[in-house]
Amino acid sequence: MALIVQKYGGTSVGSAERIKNVAKRVAKTRAEGHDVVVVVSAMSGETNRLVALAHEMQDFPDPRELDVVLSTGEQVTIGLLAMALKNIGVDAKSYTGWQVPVRTDNAHTKARIEDIDDKVMRADLKEGKVVIVAGFQGVNANGDISTLGRGGSDTSAVALAAALKADECQIYTDVDGVYTTDPRVVPEARRLDTVTFEEMLELASLGSKVLQIRSVEFAGKYKVRLRVLSSLQEGGSGTLITFEEDNNMERAAVSGIAFDKNQARVNVRGVPDKPGVAYQILGAVANANIEVDMIIQNVGAEGTTDFSFTVPRGEYKPVLELLNGLKESIGAAEIDGDDTVCKVSIVGLGMRSHVGVASKMFRTLAEEGINIQMISTSEIKVSVLIDEKYMELATRVLHKAFDLG
Amino acid sequence: MALIVQKYGGTSVGSAERIKNVAKRVAKTRAEGHDVVVVVSAMSGETNRLVALAHEMQDFPDPRELDVVLSTGEQVTIGLLAMALKNIGVDAKSYTGWQVPVRTDNAHTKARIEDIDDKVMRADLKEGKVVIVAGFQGVNANGDISTLGRGGSDTSAVALAAALKADECQIYTDVDGVYTTDPRVVPEARRLDTVTFEEMLELASLGSKVLQIRSVEFAGKYKVRLRVLSSLQEGGSGTLITFEEDNNMERAAVSGIAFDKNQARVNVRGVPDKPGVAYQILGAVANANIEVDMIIQNVGAEGTTDFSFTVPRGEYKPVLELLNGLKESIGAAEIDGDDTVCKVSIVGLGMRSHVGVASKMFRTLAEEGINIQMISTSEIKVSVLIDEKYMELATRVLHKAFDLG
């Protein structure tokens, strides 16, 4: 008998029928003798509906109030799933973030979990109940409702698994595991039985969309056994995320291709080339709680430098506004950007011991006439920023070039 | 400068545009120098949508979980209204029931307010903020979300006004006050400038639908100055609910006609005519937390008695099930009923000093061939239970007979 945390995303709970199917799956795990904690997202489409309503009220909805509105999506799902379970004779009890409580910091709409109290959940599990927790949400020290940002339900699930010392955290999604790349873009994409934590981290952060990056970080930090499974088909063991590097020397150099359209490039041109400028620019962006991804700095004309970085598209306009307000104090000649770009990355632990991986990537793209705007590299990945219209093409040719099919 | 509690119902916040209109009205009251606490319902249609989802999960949704689901409706509205106010430069902060907190008993889906903490609200008002509170909901001693039952937002508003010792509690609705009867049924219906607490209590409890009965009881108990106003038109002073009987001797005998379709009749036939039988039947019903309205007992055949009472239609099936389970222990010959009945009542403080009011009512109905199934009377009202198909006709002829046009 194990303690299993299962997380079901928006598509898996997207209708009354699907919620009933989730209930059946949970009941099956329970019947196998396991204790089950279920984390659910809002029904698909619900969060978008609520965001749209909020934007009808304010161009930039107040973050505290946005969290009040958005958190209702998951709250509806937990109640409905508890009813569906009770309807098939499985005792269950739902909890919102504040009822657990899942304590977070004060960064509304992108809060971080600080602490989870496992007392009430343990008491319910002991009584044989299935515990259902609303993903994506928590409560901060002021007693305000907070949300963890898009995809935050994955993080909720892993954090709960860590707090409960669960035997496994199962993420049910509309794919049956982690693939070499998105099968919707490259039909030859292959499911990986295992993927290392580091690779998964890069695949998730680069937009393979299977898991939210923070959830993978959390799993790594707290050594949570994490598995990605399909909620739409029965059986199948999905992809297990491993935390030890395997010793297979024959390992392929590249294990997957990730891509991410949620990218916008911001250019700060003609700033004085002196110490402190990068900090002046990025410090302001960080203070506004905006995540920066790729960063490059070029030499500009006559003692000036050009500074570029990428942010999520939703932050593109706020960042431009912010920097235009600082234009004079930074001493920048021009601030512009482009929000029709995307990032494509090759990822693989084997890359460390294989030379020439990056150059092969660049050659492959050049042969297709795809211009590279920015490059960023780490030990196990190489990312390029390109025009978004080439995203599918670049992914397909790289998948082929690295024999991933 | 006064402290005003304003309550806006589902129709008043039924769309993004309408929420913005509510924000303007609140801003106007604030600009007049008043402190404002706003109580809102769910956007119209939302509660029904959520109830339907719950019923797809379970025929009789688990009450605790139903409250988890239903309470999200108001939670969305408070967040949206706070945004709309901030968007026009009015500082505001939203609170769910548990955040205030509004403490209730444990009767899920029909909880009663036990206590309201005014600390956080007072602090916000002191800072010049508009405080927005979700109606219809609270939190019980277990930390579970509770709801007050349909129309509970009125009760929330009056209870908040009492807790804050507000100068006035304004209920904004889609009518501009209390009428002699529903203008949709009788076009000649007239708005009353004032109505006494007792009359209002009867009018509300008998289904005039303007205010929820518990809110009027609350207002009477805590001497809250209560006013009903239109949220759809500007100006107008609505109807003020007064708590002192005026001394106008010329007062009309009948001040209004109320009707209520939410009635079902239950008959317990052929029970032994001995002490304790009424208690045995109604005690079980009360223990199930089901409200009983009219009650009559007739003499039956050979030492038996027939016992009839009415309940809200939603409780009709549960009551029949409950009583069938007790049939043997009660010793009843038959248990049946009718859920196609309605109650029509004449209400008026002046009735006390005018004889013949009841007989005039019965004669008027008889002249139209309307059969009376049950009669119940109090000092200021006479109610009859009739076939629901005669409801509009009965209301119209009584309105005319008592010169209310």
Write the ipTM. Answer: 0.73
User: Does the beta-carbon distance from A72 to B75 stay under 8 Å?
Assistant: yes
Q: Distances in Å between the alpha carbon of A350 and those of A59, A91, A245, A247, A255? A: 46, 47, 10, 10, 8
Q: What are the two backbone dihedrals, phi and then psi, of residue B65, each rounded to the nearest 5 degrees? A: -70, -30
- Give the per-residue pLDDT at A207: 55
Q: How distant is the Cα of B303 from the closest Cα of chain A, in angstroms? A: 45
Say yes or no to pLDDT of B205 above 70.
Answer: no
- Give the per-residue pLDDT at B253: 79
Query: Which of A69, A71, A83 faces B65 most closely, judged by CB atoms?
Result: A83
- The pLDDT tens digits of the residues spanning A327-345 come to 998 889 999 999 999 999 9
- Structure-token pair, residue B167: 């100068």
What's the number of CA atoms in the CB half-sphere (13 Å) around residue B171? 31
Q: Provide the whole-model pTM.
A: 0.74
Residue whose structure tokens are 């999960």: B57
Q: Is A86 annotated as a binding residue?
A: no
Cβ A390 vs Cβ A380: under 8 Å: no
Name chain B contacts of A143, Cβ cutoff 8 Å.
99
Q: What is the mean pLDDT of residues B195-215?
A: 74
pLDDT band at B249 (very low <50, low <70, confident <90, very high): very low
Q: Is B199 annotated as a binding residue?
A: no
Name chain B contacts of A72, Cβ cutoff 8 Å.
72, 75-76
User: Does the beta-carbon distance from A62 to B80 stay under 8 Å?
Assistant: no
- Structure-token pair, residue B338: 């009718």
Burial B2-15 (b: 16+ CB within 10 A, else e): ebbbbbbbbbbbbe
User: Does the beta-carbon distance from A98 to B98 stay under 8 Å?
Assistant: yes
- Give the per-residue pLDDT at B52: 97
- The pLDDT tens digits of the residues spanning A260-281 come to 899 999 999 988 887 777 888 8
Residue among B112, B110, B132 at smallest CA distance from B121: B132
Cβ B179 vs Cβ B393: under 8 Å: no
Q: Is A184 annotated as a binding residue?
A: yes
- The pLDDT tens digits of the residues spanning B294-333 come to 888 877 777 888 889 999 999 999 999 999 999 998 889 9
Q: What is the mean pLDDT of residues A285-302?
A: 82
Query: Which of A58, A67, A93 faces B86 most closely, judged by CB atoms?
Result: A58
Instruction: Tell whether B96 is within 8 A of chain A (Cβ).
Output: yes
Query: Which of B68, B83, B93 faces A57 most closely, judged by CB atoms?
Result: B83
- Structure-token pair, residue B202: 């009867």
Q: Cα B183 vs. chain centroid, distance in angstroms?
A: 18
Residue among A322, A317, A62 at smallest CA distance from B88: A62
Name chain B contacts of A86, Cβ cutoff 8 Å.
58, 62, 65
For chains A and B, count residue pairs whose Cβ atoms are closer than 8 Å.
102
Q: Cα B141 vs. chain centroid, distance in angstroms?
A: 25
- Structure-token pair, residue A256: 């997957």
Q: What are the two backbone dihedrals, phi and then psi, of residue B111, each rounded to the nearest 5 degrees? A: -70, 155
- The pLDDT tens digits of the residues spanning A334-390 come to 999 999 999 999 998 877 766 688 888 999 999 999 999 888 888 788 899 999 999
Strand order through the sheet with A92-95? A92-95, A130-134, A35-40, A3-8, A168-173, A226-230, A239-242, A194-196
Instruction: Tell whether A147 is within 8 A of chain B (Cβ).
Output: no
pLDDT band at A248 (very low <50, low <70, confident <90, very high): low
Name chain B contacts of A99, Cβ cutoff 8 Å.
143-144
pLDDT band at B192 (very low <50, low <70, confident <90, very high): confident
Name chain A contacts of B134, Cβ cutoff 8 Å.
none
Cβ B281 vs Cβ B330: under 8 Å: yes
Burial A289-320 (b: 16+ CB within 10 A, else e): ebebbbebbeebeeebbbbbbbbbeebbeebb
User: Does the beta-carbon distance from B68 to A53 stay under 8 Å?
Assistant: no
Say yes or no to pLDDT of B348 above 80.
Answer: yes
Instruction: Tell whether B364 is within 8 A of chain A (Cβ).
Output: no
pLDDT band at B173 (very low <50, low <70, confident <90, very high): confident
User: Does the beta-carbon distance from B72 to A76 stay under 8 Å?
Assistant: yes
Q: What percent of chain A has pLDDT over 90?
A: 59
Name chain B contacts of A56, Cβ cutoff 8 Å.
16
Name chain A contacts of B121, Cβ cutoff 8 Å.
none
Say yes or no to pLDDT of A249 above 50.
Answer: no
Q: Strand locations in A158-280, DSSP E?
A: 168-173, 178-179, 191-192, 194-196, 226-230, 239-242, 256-272
CA dihedral for B304, B310, B316, B322, sign (positive or negative) = negative
Q: What is the mean pLDDT of residues B345-373?
A: 86
Query: Which of B71, B80, B93 faces A69 most closely, judged by CB atoms?
Result: B80
Q: Is B395 annotated as a binding residue?
A: no
State the best of A22, A26, A48, A57 to mutate against chain B, taking most chain B CBs within 10 Å: A57
Q: Is A97 annotated as a binding residue?
A: no
State the best of A53, A98, A130 to mutate against chain B, taking most chain B CBs within 10 Å: A53
Cβ B255 vs Cβ B354: under 8 Å: no
User: Does the beta-carbon distance from A80 to B69 stay under 8 Å?
Assistant: yes
Name chain A contacts of B79, Cβ cutoff 8 Å.
54, 65-69
Say yes or no to pLDDT of B356 above 90.
Answer: no
Instruction: Tell whether B94 is within 8 A of chain A (Cβ).
Output: yes
- Structure-token pair, residue B383: 């109610």
User: Does the beta-carbon distance from A80 to B54 stay under 8 Å?
Assistant: yes
Residue among A219, A214, A65 at smallest CA distance from A148: A214
Say yes or no to pLDDT of B123 above 90.
Answer: yes
- Structure-token pair, residue A358: 């990056």
State the best of A13, A15, A72 to mutate against chain B, taking most chain B CBs within 10 Å: A72
Q: What are the two backbone dihedrals, phi and then psi, of residue B277, each rounded to the nearest 5 degrees? A: -70, -45
- The pLDDT tens digits of the residues spanning B272-296 come to 887 777 888 888 888 888 888 888 8
- Give the per-residue pLDDT at B58: 97
pLDDT band at B202 (very low <50, low <70, confident <90, very high): confident
Distance CA A354, CA A347 (A): 12
